[in-house]
Structure 1
Amino acid sequence: MTTTTAATITVEQLRDEVTALARRCLCDPVTELFGPLLETQERVFSRLENDPVPEHLHELYLLAGFVSGMLAKAHHDLDREHQAMSLARMAYVCADNAGHAGLRAWSRGLQSLLAYSGGRPQEAAAFADCGARIAVEQTGSVASWLACGLARALARLGAAEPARLALARAEDLREHHVHDDLDALGGIFLFTPARQHHYAADTYACLPEQADRAVHEATRSIALYAAAPPEQRSFGDEAGARCVLALIRVRAGDAAAARDALGPVLSLDLPRRTAEVMAGMARVGDALRHPRFVDVPEARDLREQIEWFAQRPASALSS
């Protein structure tokens, strides 16, 4: 009895560690998270390999899936795509071993995010669609995340109407959302309305004649992040919404408005300049290279700031 009680406490302590890390994942710099994530992963897998108590296996596989997913995101932030995708697959296997459909669906969403960020929208759409089929009976925010992930991947592929339908599906799922255990874990596992508006903005930015909708969604996302509690304020997604807003402003020929939108992003410290943030900034920088901006001082200055920013990514800290 004493041994079992001690083992149970140890598993509960691991759960507390994983929960605390999940809630730090969106707002803390990856350089502060990487070491604790590795240590927690080692402890969880050590318990999984050595715990003789069968009733602990379900919980330990869940914890292994959670921490593997968080480590995948950390590797992605540092632009280590091969390691990130390997860990995302590990998260899926752990979820499968635990028999947890929500985490299986979330792991597919993570793979979709990695593929999308890597410039592979066809693969991203396939992962999101697979996850959505797994999540068909899920009530939590993971279902909205997968629909939004599918929408922006389809938009990048030029499939305008399917992308709009996927966004409508995400909105419907949000209206019927009921918190589940992934949402209760919080952080990276909770798809907030602010993140949903960012994904919608990114989707509309890729669709013809939808610039106004993109601006509306990006502005809404930024406003929600400004009002959010610290543990829900994802600097990466907030920066993404600002990059979308800046991109639309550049396309409209307003470099000064783009500069205003990007001000807080340009002020991010080096550990928060993740791969996704850098990709969003690169899209704006590419748009500023249009010939119509050759003789526009505001455009030239902003382009130089983005180029300077691009030379100092978070990945440089781990080299």
Structure 2
Amino acid sequence: MEPEPPLFQILVNQKGWQEYDVFKRRYQEAARELADLEGPSSLATAPPPEKRQFVRWVRGEVKTAPRSEARRVLQFMFPGIPLGRLFAPASTAGTSPDLRGPTESSLEGQLDYGAEDVVMAAANESARFAARAESSNVGPHTMEQLEADIRRIVTTYPNRPVGPLFSEVRALRDRAFEFLEGRQPPQYTRDLYVAAGVLCGVLANASFDLGRYDAAETQARTAFMCGELAGHNGLRAWVRGLQALIAYWDGRPHDAVRLSEAGGNFTPEYGTAHIRLASIKARAYGQLQQASDAIAALNSADNMRNGMIAGDDLPGGMMAFPEEKQLFYASSTHLWLGGDQHLSDAEARADEAVCMFEAAPPESRRLGEMSLARMDLAMARMNRGDLDGAALQVYDVLGVNARRRTESVRKRLGQFGRHLALHPARSTPAAIAMREAIVAHQEQIPAELPPGVTQ
């Protein structure tokens, strides 16, 4: 019997990195991005593993921990998976010895990954369901409970740690799939497809927040297919917006524009989906330095907000696009465009967004979005020389993100740190303290609140 392959081999095969030259290129790209986000700059030029070392990793022939730079890069390439599990046989990865240094914890990330990569496994399950659906036994009380559970999840999502919530949403999605595979009365079929699509959309958003863009895109495709089968324009438009958002954060602004425009082909009867699409498109145009297109998209979002009919055809919560979120999308757009006037506009909009986020009761604050608005405000203030004002926002974000980590906030902190390192006041005690706090935060194990507990 052949020995079981290590989890590392399975994952590189899934990602198409099994050839050494491909893996080497991906490794170097990850090292450069990690150097930009967290430092030190020397990490960008650290030598990749030699081919014979890569072959040993693939075979699971690992006796000692990789060097410290390689550990950091590997953890960045395979987020949430401890090295002891990465190089162990897949079926025993959950009980393998820890190959990391003595100061590193054996628990990483917000999910407990064992033999199975939980996020990608969930994405694959959604994909398999999509294939079956293209080729039950539900009554009104069942649907009422399912819809109530969905409303609770989308309402509490912005305030809860992502990892513990992921398993709860996945279980509820599985229940919706099971209903659809049964023999429900025809009048419930559309509602079930909408429910399944919303839950896949939540899983896509959670996968995105965990930094798993590949899994997020798979979940989003299944969510969109459910919207197609239900003929639900609100869901289709929202999912296209999520896909555009993933492309924006993945550094693909042209794709973000294309997906935003594609979402505009689906016209919900009411709600905020199109305002969100226009706002995402504005940020993507800002990233592309297409100022006139970016401002036109912002104006379009404003006009739609002014003419919006109250209510939404989706369950609200994380799927709604409130005014404060639109404001910080506008601030991000102005930051991309740069210049004194855009910088002033960015600061004003970010400041207003933060005030609106803070006005919500603590148990219902949208923590990740509020943190991103604070990072926009910090960047604007730093660029006009107000380091003390920037520091107030950064330290608040560090405290919140230690309890509810998301990939987007982690990236923004890294970008801020990189810009701070180039600032004329970078050698002042305030700047040095901020940079050290950001680096320490990026290296620490994330703290979690128990499921359902708010701060």
Confirm or deny a common fold (TM above 0.5). yes
Larger radius of gyration: 2
Name the structure 2 match of 1:160: 291
1:206 aligned to which of 331, 336, 339: 336
Structure 2: gaps (5+ residues): 1-135, 450-455
For residue 294 of structure 1, report the CA deviation from its aligned partner: 4.0
Q: Give SS of 1:268's match.
A: helix
Which whole-Å CA distance do the structure 2 matches of 1:252 and 1:63 have between them? 47
Name the structure 1 match of 2:304: 173
> 2:336 corresponds to which letter in structure 1?
C
Q: Is the 8 A contact 1:66 1:91 kept in 2?
A: yes
Name the structure 1 match of 2:188: 56
1:76 aligned to which of 208, 230, 237: 208
1:30-61, Cα deviation, whole Å (9 max, x unpaired): 12311210110110101011133221110000
Runs of 4+, deviation exceeding 6 Å: none
Greater mean deviation of Cα atoms: 305-314 or 71-80: 305-314
**Does residue 1:279 correspond to 2:420, yes or no?**
no
2:231 aligned to which of 71, 80, 99: 99
Q: Give SS of 1:25's match.
A: helix
Name the structure 1 match of 2:391: 259
Q: Is the 8 A contact 2:404 2:447 kept in 1?
A: no
1:78-107, Cα deviation, whole Å (9 max, x unpaired): 111111110011111000100001110000
1:32 aligned to which of 164, 181, 186: 164
Which whole-Å CA distance do the structure 2 matches of 1:112 and 1:314 have between them? 28
Which whole-Å CA distance do the structure 2 matches of 1:127 and 1:174 have between them? 21
Structure 1: gaps (5+ residues): none
Q: Give SS of 2:211's match.
A: coil
For residue 284 of structure 1, report the CA deviation from its aligned partner: 0.8
Name the structure 2 match of 1:128: 260
Which whole-Å CA distance do the structure 2 matches of 1:133 and 1:229 have between them? 36
Q: Give SS of 1:191's match.
A: coil
In the superposition, the TM-score normalised over structure 2's length comes to 0.65
Identity among equivalent pairs (%) = 33
> 1:157 corresponds to which letter in structure 2?
L
Q: 1:69 to 1:314 in 2, by over 3 A?
A: farther
Alignment of 1:4-23 (within 5 A): 7-23=139-155
For residue 142 of structure 1, report the CA deviation from its aligned partner: 1.0
Q: Is the 8 A contact 2:260 2:280 kept in 1?
A: yes
For residue 199 of structure 1, report the CA deviation from its aligned partner: 0.5
For residue 308 of structure 1, report the CA deviation from its aligned partner: 1.2
For residue 303 of structure 1, report the CA deviation from its aligned partner: 0.8
Matched residues, number:
312
Q: 1:26 to 1:311 in 2, by over 3 A?
A: same
Q: Is the 8 A contact 1:78 1:314 kept in 2?
A: no
Which whole-Å CA distance do the structure 2 matches of 1:12 and 1:314 have between them? 36
For residue 275 of structure 1, report the CA deviation from its aligned partner: 0.3
Greater mean deviation of Cα atoms: 118-127 or 36-45: 118-127
Which whole-Å CA distance do the structure 1 matches of 2:380 and 2:436 have between them? 19
Which whole-Å CA distance do the structure 2 matches of 1:250 and 1:33 have between them? 35
Higher helix fraction: Structure 1 or Structure 2?
1
